[in-house]
A = this chain, B = another copy of it.
Amino acid sequence: MTSLEVIALEGLPLIKAGDDLNGLIVSALGRNAIAPRVGDVVVVAQKIVSKAEGRMVDLATVEPSARARSLAAETDKDPRLVEVILSESVRVVRAARRGVLIVEHRLGFVMANAGVDQSNVAPSDGAHRVLLLPKDPDRSAEALRKGLTESTGVDLAVVINDSFGRPWRQGTMGVAIGAAGLPALIDLRGKPDLFGRTLEVSVVGFADEIAAAASLVMGQADEASPVVLIRGLRWSAPRSTAASLVRSASEDLFR
């Protein structure tokens, strides 16, 4: 019987810049009495990866450009926030009233606000901090994968997930912005279906589905469980990173 376990690790401390995520996750696995097994996938919330990497910007230090001011007026946003968003973006895809600013992030993700987040950032000293995506989430995932594999002695995979809104559908959904040690994308094209006909649509966003599954137990309003272990997945496709999940602008009909 094929079955998965999706386990939210408890007791991870609040993460701050410079923290050793690898060590904290290994400790949390121990505290949760989980002995990692080959093929386990560790899903880590973007937010704590960004925090550990110190990807915070204090808006008080930001001087908005004329373009940021104009876009801020158009979207009812803080011009300094828009400046930060633009600094993380290569193009604006849609801008509209009531805070809508959908951009192409420098990593290719088409997403709201370039993933710049104002929630769950501790306002310890009155500063108005915002949190950016990790600089290179695939690289962060690979570093974590290597660290965890070395620390535990077991070959693990890592996915870094975030919640994205979608066109056409309400509600956010977990997606993968970083992946290491597994196929982020599985190409089944050419594989016969049950009756020998060739499958038509058969490229699966495997890491995105993993990200969504983890998202179900991470909780949305707190940081209680920003690390989730998924056990029982199997794959035979070659490894690929989350970058392979990004559709190129030239192949995209909606940009």
Q: Which residues of A contact B (CB under 8 A)?
A: 1-10, 14, 32, 94, 96, 100, 102, 109-110, 112, 117-123, 163, 165-175, 185-186, 188, 191-195, 197-206, 208-210, 212-213, 215-217, 219-223, 225, 232-233, 244-247, 252-255
- Using known A-B contacts A3-B7, A123-B195, determine if residue A204 contacts B172 with beta carbons closer than 8 Å: yes
Q: What separation, in Å, do the CA atoms of A245 and B167 have in the docked complex?
A: 11
Give the contacting residue for A201; candidates B2, B6, B165; CB below 8 A.
Answer: B165
CA distance A165 to B254 in the complex (A): 12
Contacts A3-B8, A212-B209 given; indicate if A201 touches B188 (C-beta within 8 A).
no
Task: Evaluate whether A173 and B209 lie within 8 angstroms (CB atoms) in the complex, with A1-B8, A7-B1, A121-B195 already known.
Answer: yes
8 Å CB contact of A96 from B166, B203, B223, B253: B253
Cβ–Cβ < 8 Å partners of A195 in chain B: 120-123
Q: Which residue of B lies closest to A229 (CB)?
A: B3
Number of copies of this protein chain within its complex: 2
Nearest residue (CB) in B for A34 is B1
Chain B residues near A246 (CB-CB < 8 A):
168-170
- A225 closest partner in B (C-beta): B2
Complex CA–CA separation, A14 to B194 (angstroms): 10
A-B contact list, 7 entries, CB within 8 Å = A2-B8, A3-B217, A120-B194, A174-B209, A208-B212, A209-B213, A212-B212
Q: Are A217 and B4 in contact (CB under 8 A)?
A: yes
Top 3 closest A-B pairs, CB basis? A171-B205, A213-B213, A212-B212
User: How far, in whole Å, are A212 and B230 apart by their CA atoms in the complex?
Assistant: 14
- B198, B206, B212, B221: the one contacting A213 at CB < 8 Å is B212
**Judging by beta carbons under 8 Å apart, are A222 and B194 in contact?**
yes
Known: A96-B253, A171-B205, A213-B216. A197 touches B118 (CB 8 A): yes
Q: Are A215 and B221 in touch, CB under 8 angstroms? A: no
Q: Which residue of B lies closest to A123 (CB)?
A: B195
> How far, in whole Å, are A94 and B117 apart by their CA atoms in the complex?
32
Contacts of A252 in B (CB 8 A): 167-168
- Name the distance in Å between A47's Cβ and chain B's nearest Cβ: 10
Task: Verify A168–B205 contact, CB threshold 8 A.
Answer: no
Query: B residues within 8 A CB of A5?
Result: 3-6
**Distance (whole angstroms) from the CB of A189 to the closest CB of chain B:** 10
CA distance A233 to B213 in the complex (A): 11
**Complex formed: what's the CA distance from A9 to B3 in Å?**
9
CA distance A165 to B252 in the complex (A): 12
